[in-house]
Structure formats: C-alpha cells, structure tokens
Amino acid sequence: MILFEPYIPTPRESYEDDLWIKSECYRFYVRERRHNCTFREIMNLWLRVPYCCTCAVSEPLTEYRAADITGRNWRRDVAWTLGNETLGIIKRELRRNSEFALICKHCRTEIRPWKGDEVWVVNDHLEEHYRIPLETPGRKSVSSNVRKKIIELYDRACFGCGATSTTNKKLHIDHILPQSKGGDSAFRNLQPLCKDCGNLKGDELPEEVNVYSDIYFGVYPSDGYAGLFW
C-alpha cells in the first residue's frame, strides 16, 4: 500500500535546482579567483558563449564546439559540458524567461536543451565581449543613463561594503582602472562605491587593491586555473 505519492520534479524544476547549486559553488570560486589574480590577468581571460545550430552552421570559419547536453543527460551536463562560464547567461535568462531558455549571442534566438535543441559554444575574449562604446573621443564623464544602469547592475549597493542608497550612503561611479592612469568609461571599468570605499580605494591601480568589478564575471570565464575551480 502506497502511503503517499512521491513528488517528482519537472524537467524545468530540476534544471533550476541543479543550476542554483552549481552557481553558488562557482560563486565561491570566483571570489577566490578575484583575490588571487591581478586586474591585468582578469583582462586576459577568455569565455565561451552559446550559439544556436543555425548560426554555428552559417559561420563555418569560426571554431564552434557542440555542447553535449541534449537528450537524457542535459540536466547533468548543462553546467559541466557547456561550461561554468555560461552560468551568468543562464541565470539572467532564468530571471526573465519562464522557459529558462539560453539565448544565442549572435541572433538572440532561444535555445532549449531540455527540448532537444542543439547548443554550440565559441570562445570569446573577455575584454572584447564586454567592450561597449559609451563615450566619444576625449570625453571621460559618465552619463546619467550609464550611471543608472551600473547602479542597477549591482542591485543599488556599494561593491565594497554592500551599503545601499537607503542607508544614507550616496553611491558614486568608480573607475576600476583610474582615468588618470588610462581607464575608460566602458561598462567593464565601472562599479558603484560609497564615499568611504571610494576614499579607501583612491587612485590606486587595480593590482594594488582587491576591488574588482563583477561585470567581468557576468559570464563566468574559462581560464587555465583549473585547480581553483572544479
């Protein structure tokens, strides 16, 4: 006699649960990685981004690799075969898409591996991936629109201490690599800091302080430091 019916999670629920566990584990390693490398080393990292089958076939000169996450093993391999560096993309899609779809970087088509869609990945340099032209030559100021987006990106909290604008600490936009030493106003070089953390960081180079921007890990990078990860 069966006393109760066991609960069997749906494919989407299993996908989300597996992803959350691996994501939290990886977040710990990302923090460790940031404390064990310099700003310049971060800028030399590479990442892998997803492409749909159509885009992979249409550009044969690019070196694509099929991610074996279809069929019965997609839940097990989505974060292992496809790569931990794509977890950032997946997490963003989880928040805004009820179908938990991956998005092809080239054509923005939804990719659903749990429904049999084939996923391809291609290497992309971290700096080029996040290089967003935000200023004209000679202009160094950060526009109000960019300032708003950066603060929203960090959940309206100081990157250094976590203080929010609701705690009577006004946030300002900090250049990770100072403007006086060649830093630009692209997204990859901006982060929100409160006055105290800004004064602590000062005009020092990123190699001299452990203050690095999360934007570099919006898509988790793949590098040669395998021992720091899995």
Q: Which DSSP string do the residues of 119-168 spell out, in sequence order? A: EEEEEEEHHHHH----S-TT--PPPHHHHHHHHHHTTTB-TTT--BGGGT
**Residue 3 counted as domain residue:** no
**Residue 190 counted as domain residue:** yes
Query: Can you read off the two tokens belonging to residue 206?
Result: 């990123």
Number of domains in the chain: 2
Per the CB < 8 A criterion, the answer to whether 75 and 114 are in contact is yes
If asked whether residues 76 and 149 sit together in one domain, one would say: no
If asked whether residues 65 and 87 sit together in one domain, one would say: yes
**Residue 2 counted as domain residue:** no
**Residue 67 pLDDT:** 66
If asked whether residues 32 and 120 sit together in one domain, one would say: yes
**Residue 227 counted as domain residue:** no
Q: Which of 102, 130, 158 is the last residue of a domain?
A: 130
If asked whether residues 40 and 125 sit together in one domain, one would say: yes
**Residue 151 counted as domain residue:** yes
If asked whether residues 17 and 45 sit together in one domain, one would say: yes
**Residue 193 counted as domain residue:** yes
- Give 125's contacts (C-beta < 8 A, 6+ positions apart): 46, 47
**Residue 46 pLDDT:** 59
Question: Terminus-to-terminus CA distance in the chain, angstroms?
Answer: 44
**Residue 29 pLDDT:** 45
User: What CATH number has the domain bearing residue 190?
Assistant: 1.10.30
Host domain of residue 148: 144-216
- The pLDDT profile of the chain, 230 residues, written as one tens digit per residue, is 555 565 565 665 665 555 555 444 444 444 455 455 554 555 455 556 778 888 888 877 778 877 654 444 444 444 444 445 455 554 554 454 433 456 787 887 877 776 777 878 777 655 455 443 333 334 456 777 778 777 877 778 888 888 887 766 789 888 877 877 777 676 667 788 888 888 888 877 665 444 444 433 333 333 333 322 22
Query: Can you read off the two tokens belonging to residue 170?
Result: 């006004």
Look up the pTM and report it.
0.38
